[in-house]
Amino acid sequence: MALVAIVGRPNVGKSTLFNRLTEERRAIVDDQPGVTRDRLFGEVEWTGRTFDLVDTGGLVPRSAERFDAAIREQVVLTLGEADVILFVVDTLTGTTEPDQEVAKMLRRAEQPVIVVANKADTEGRKNDAAEFWGLGFDQMFPLSSVNGTGTGDFLDAVVAAL
């Protein structure tokens, strides 16, 4: 089955997007009571098409906001394994230097790269997302992983890219 990978710097909403797309509202509970852990792999079904989804943010140790070895490692994993790459950015912060660094690496990708302008909860932020065309990719979708706005058009594009 096709593998779709979510990549991006910390706090842009990768895990929240993953949970919305996999419709997994409940975190997996570890053996130890009270300990929850982010799920990293899931299956997504949309208009009769199914794909595997991975949240690469959880595959490498979480670290600071800057572009560092952990984010680089995410991108390297993604470039090696994914059929489609979801590059998540944040409409609240706009483009940051770590986003630029990720973009630079992903521009060399052979796979389709879809920019996800997350946290576009309102019309205003949806409009702000236009700046992310500047990252240099062919596809960019403003959406909200929290309220679900924009996820339909985005998923149409993902399954079209499989």
Annotated binding-site members for GTP: 8-15, 55-59, 118-121
Comparison of 2 and 40: residue with beta carbon closer to ligand GDP: 40
Comparison of 137 and 151: residue with beta carbon closer to ligand GDP: 151
Residue nearest to Mg ion (CB): 15
Query: Which of 93, 99, 94, 90 has its CA nearest to residue 143?
Result: 90
Least Cβ distance, residue 124 to Mg ion (angstroms): 25
Q: Which does 94 bind (CB under 5 to 8 A by kind): ligand GDP, Mg ion, none?
A: none
Q: Counting beta carbons within 10 angstroms of the beta carbon of residue 35, is it exposed (0 to 12), middle (13 to 18) or buried (19 or more)? A: exposed
Distance of CA 107 to the CA centre of its chain: 16
Instruction: Give bridge partners of residue 44 from the DSSP assignment.
Output: 51
Residue ranges that bind ligand GDP, judged by CB under 6 A: 8, 10-16, 57, 118-119, 121, 144-146
Taking CB under 5 A as the rule, does residue 57 contact Mg ion? Answer: yes
Provide the token pair at 95: 């483009």
